[in-house]
Amino acid sequence: MSDARPNSYSLWRHQQRLAPYLFVSPFLILFCVFGIYPIVKSLYLAFHTTNGPRSVVFTGLDNFRFLLQDPDFYAAVYNTGVFALFSVFLQLPLSLGLALLLNARWLKGRDTFRFVFFSPNLVGQVFVGVLASVIFVPRFGLVPRFLHWAMRTSIDMNLLGNPDLVMPALVGTALWMYVGYNCIYFLAALQSVDRELYEAAAVDGANAWHQFWHVTVPAIKPVALIVVIMSTLGSFQLFELPFVMMGGPGPNKAGLTIVMYLYQRGFDIGNLGYASTIGWTLALIVLVISMVQVRLSGAVRGHA
């Protein structure tokens, strides 16, 4: 009995010391296996050429050198960049406009509208992609027929077959999918703006535009910045939508995105080394953009 107390005390202390590690270990193990290991492995592969399932040959910076001269990579960066620009400069103002409408006091059935606008996001990119590929069918699809009726465009307008029209079709589909989604963020931000600020502004003689510019915009700026960052990052990860809509990069690689290019090189050709190089370059691009945005958001916060 006399020995039991120090033993149980030491066990208790031991347990106390180990407990935090035990609690975090499931996450740590999973993170190391599915997070750290793939990152390290892909960094290793980025400096190698994989040739078939087993052969890995060290090629130094060859993959990066090739990437810098690879017209397909530049096409992918260009397409992704254009899509990201539209996401930020078209999608977000539309989302904000919609949120302002939904936030209007006179609007009845706000929840229903909110659900309707958000619903494309519930079904996911694959479903939306399949649906879009059907409604864009030339001559017999809903969109070409509507455009022909409304704007006298050619009924044979091949939105997914004409390299010049692929990006507008992609952007249009993404708008349909994400405007409602981003609108929810803006709506939440708008609903948290203190009504008294508007009343005070009105007393000071501010019209609707002044109220929007001097009250609403500063109040929702933090949320807007989050939405901008998320939309940009999401745009740089674009893959499923064009992949499903066109079964690949589309005509003349007009729908080729960076992630799709990575997938093609890794899984269609089997060069995981070059795919890793593309992946790391994408990570670098996203890092730079994020840093710029974080700096901007810091500046804005400082200004506020």
Q: Compute the least distance from the CB of residue 300 to other proteins, in Å.
A: 32
Strands 48-51 and 55-58: antiparallel
Q: Compute the least distance from the CB of residue 64 to other proteins, in Å.
A: 12
CA distances from 232 to 57, 76, 83, 90, 293 (A): 35, 15, 9, 12, 10
Phi-psi region of 256 (alpha: psi -120 to 50; beta: other; left: phi over 0): beta
Nearest residue (CB) to other proteins, 260 versus 282? 260
Residue reference for tokens 């589309």: 250
The Cβ of residue 209 has, within 10 Å, a number of other Cβ atoms equal to 8
Nearest residue (CB) to other proteins, 148 versus 214? 148
Nearest residue (CB) to other proteins, 52 versus 302? 52
The letter for the amino acid at 261 is: Y
Q: Compute the least distance from the CB of residue 168 to other proteins, in Å.
A: 16
Residue 49's beta-bridge partner residues?
A: 57
Nearest residue (CB) to other proteins, 16 versus 69? 69
Nearest residue (CB) to other proteins, 138 versus 172? 138
Q: Compute the least distance from the CB of residue 190 to other proteins, in Å.
A: 20
d(CA 229, CA 97): 19
Nearest residue (CB) to other proteins, 92 versus 184? 184
Q: Compute the least distance from the CB of residue 286 to other proteins, in Å.
A: 24
CA distances from 77 to 10, 45, 52, 82, 119 (A): 60, 21, 27, 8, 30
Q: Compute the least distance from the CB of residue 253 to other proteins, in Å.
A: 6
Residues that bind other proteins (CB under 8 A): 49-55, 57, 59, 62-63, 66, 69-72, 134, 137-140, 156, 158, 161-163, 248-249, 251-253, 264, 267-272, 274
Q: Helix 163-191 vs helix 110-135: angle between axes, to the nearest 10 degrees?
A: 170
The letter for the amino acid at 275 is: A
Cβ(91)–Cβ(174) below 8 Å: yes
Cβ(43)–Cβ(280) below 8 Å: yes
d(CA 238, CA 228): 15
Q: Compute the least distance from the CB of residue 34 to other proteins, in Å.
A: 14
What 3-state DSSP class applies to 256?
A: coil
Q: Compute the least distance from the CB of residue 134 to other proteins, in Å.
A: 8
Nearest residue (CB) to other proteins, 234 versus 248? 248
Nearest residue (CB) to other proteins, 24 versus 57? 57
